[in-house]
Every structure is written in structure tokens, then in C-alpha cells.
A and B are shown apart, each in its own frame.
Chain A
Amino acid sequence: MPAVHVDFDQVAVESVSTMDTDGEAVTDDAFCIPVIIPLDAVGPWLALYDETSSTSPSAANSRIIARAVLAALQAAAESD
């Protein structure tokens, strides 16, 4: 599986106003969680993703990124 990490010591609760990937404006008080995709993992990750399919990526592949983010969120929330 391609690698994914979280820059954990940069996880912070912040108020953010920005644009989401889809161009939608976002304003919220939130946990900001930087996700690290190593450059050599970019190709493999994009190969697992089909933006035209609502079932992509697969559950197993989705779980890798989701668990990295949720683990960071849980650790940060518990220490906050």
C-alpha cells in the first residue's frame, strides 16, 4: 500500500477560512490535520483513485488514509 503520514506536531485547532478542493468556501473552527503523501507515493495513490466512480477508492484503500487522519484526530482531541 502507498504510504501516508500525518505531520502530527502541526495538528492544531484553528479557525480557518479557505477554499475546499471543489472550490467551495469553507469557514470553520476545526482541527487542521496536515496529511503527508510522500512524492513517490503520489502515483500509486492516484492510480487507486477514479474521480468518476462513487465507489473509488476501495474500502480497503480508503481506510488507510482515513485511519491515519482519524488516529491523529483522536490523539489530538484526547490531548487537547
Chain B
Amino acid sequence: MPVYPVFDPTTGASGGASSGGGGGGGTDGPTNAITPEVVNLTDGTWTLWDDDGLIDTTYGTNGATFDSATGETTIKMAGLAAGGAQYMPATTSGGHFWPRWYRAIPATNMGTVVMTTDLKNNTTPAPWARAVVCGLASNPTSTDVNTMDGTGGFFRHGGTGSNPFNLGVWTLGSQTSGSNLSIVRGLATVMRSNDSLGSGTYITVKADELALNSGSRNTGFNAGAAGATVPVFHMVGVGTYGTGTIPVGALVTMRITQTTSIIAFGA
């Protein structure tokens, strides 16, 4: 069965690359060379969910700017005076109240969806104890961990210069990642299918473009929708590393790259 690239990597339009070349995309066949999409939260396709107002929405477009030269997204935080587990993507305690951007994709939980992400942190902004996720979710506006039903690439940093960078895979409210100061970016691939949230794998990469760590995490979460067909969304979220506060005006600058395959294998 063919693999269909979801977005035209040149224009960001849905439906895959236009025919006639000019921007990559895939071809039907045993292998598919894919040019990934550099995620731009300001392109009009993303909706921000931020019930507790952690994002400075006066900044850029809904709290984000995009640098087309570097492919980096910068997110500005409004600040958080009192932290809590509910603002940590990597815990199930307290639910998921961390802010996230989401967009619809032509996928459901009953289909096979494979998403590969690459998260590359920019160390220029002053660090703070933060976490970033980029992946898939069945209900990105739900604060219930299992109802959100999310998985994807994961980044976090403890907020001081001596803290290592963690890059890996996020599942529901847990994560497994490589942890080292020398990690520059992290690849993650998650696969969900047939109402299972599936599993994810990761590889961390150093500045010399050699891998440092690799690993995986299984969600063990099957029949999340009890067999009902529900849509699956793209989601980019930012929250806290732990239960600490967020400085007013804190920034996250990151190049977020992804490719998503929606595969119809058939019964």
C-alpha cells in the first residue's frame, strides 16, 4: 500500500507535495524519500489551547514567531507564579493543563499513523525548567491524560547550565529519553494504529551528527477509544520540567521538524 505524505513541505498545504516536483514529498513504491515539514506555529493552521494563560499571546501570532531563515519557532511565556504537576507533560498527576497548539490532520485512531519528529533546541534564550512535546493526540483540548491520548517527540531541560538536555519520546504522561549535555537534537518516531497508541523510539544526536543514545517507550495503551473511531491531531505543547515556576517573558526557541505518514494497509 502506498504512503501518502500529509503536507506539502514547500507550501505547508495539506494533501502532500504537488506533482511535478519542487519540494520533495514521496512517491508510491517500496521506499519513499520524504522532505519533512519544518513546523511553523504561525502559519494559520494551528489553534492554541491555553486555559491557564501560560502563553504570552501578545507576542507574535498566538504567542509564537517563526524565523524562516533558521526554521526556528520561538514561544514566549506569560509566566507562572505557582507551578504544579498539571503543567508537566511528563507526568500523569494533575492532568494536562500545559499549553499546546494543535491542528487537524486527515487521520483517525483506527488508521496507521507514523510520525517522525526532530527537535533541535536553540540554547541562546535564557534557560528555564521547560519541556516540549511534538506529536499526535486524539483530543488535544482534553486535560485528561488518557483522553488526550498523546505521544510524540520530547524535549526537556532543567533550566541551569549544568543540566543535561533530555531528548526522547513522550507517551501519555510519561517519557523516556537520552540525557546528556552534548545532545543537540533528538529524533523520535511514534506509531499508532487500530485504536492503540502504540510505541515510540528515539535517537539523540550530537553536534558532530553522530548518535549518542537510542531507546524506546511502549504506551501499553490499547483500545483507548473503546473501538470508536475518533480523529487524530498534530500537537505541539510546552510546559514545565517539574513543578517549578516560569519567569515572565521566558522563551523557548526550537526548530521543530516533522513528517507524518497515514498508511492504509487494509484488513
A residues touching B (Cβ–Cβ < 8 Å)? 12-19, 25, 27, 29, 32
Contacts and interface: CB of A to CB of B under 8 A. Distances in A.
Contacts of A32: 176
Given A25-B85, A29-B179, A15 B168 contact: yes
B213 A14 contact: yes
17 contacts: A12-B215, A13-B179, A13-B213, A14-B178, A14-B179, A14-B213, A14-B215, A15-B164, A15-B166, A15-B179, A16-B175, A16-B176, A16-B177, A17-B91, A19-B174, A25-B91, A27-B90
B92 interface: yes
Interface string B147-165: 0000000000000000010
Contacts of A29: 164, 179
Given A19-B174, A25-B85, A29-B179, A14 B90 contact: no
Contact of A19 (B92, B177, B213, B242): B92
Would you call the interface of chain A mostly helix, strand, loop, or mixed?
A: strand
Which of A14, A17, A25, A29 has the most chain B CB atoms closer than 10 A to its own CB?
A17
B178 A15 contact: yes
Nearest to A17: B90
B5 to A, nearest CB: 31
Interface in B34-83: none
Which of B85, B164, B215 has the most chain A CB atoms closer than 10 A to its own CB?
B215
B93 interface: yes
A14 B174 contact: no
Contacts of B168: 14-15
B93 A15 contact: no
A18 B178 CA distance: 15
Contacts of A14: 168, 176-179, 213, 215
Nearest to A16: B176
B13 to A, nearest CB: 36
Contacts of B176: 14-16, 18, 32
A13 to B, nearest CB: 8
Interface string B125-164: 0000000000000000000000000000000000000001
Nearest to B167: A15
A41 B117 CA distance: 40
A17 B93 contact: no
Contacts of B164: 15, 29
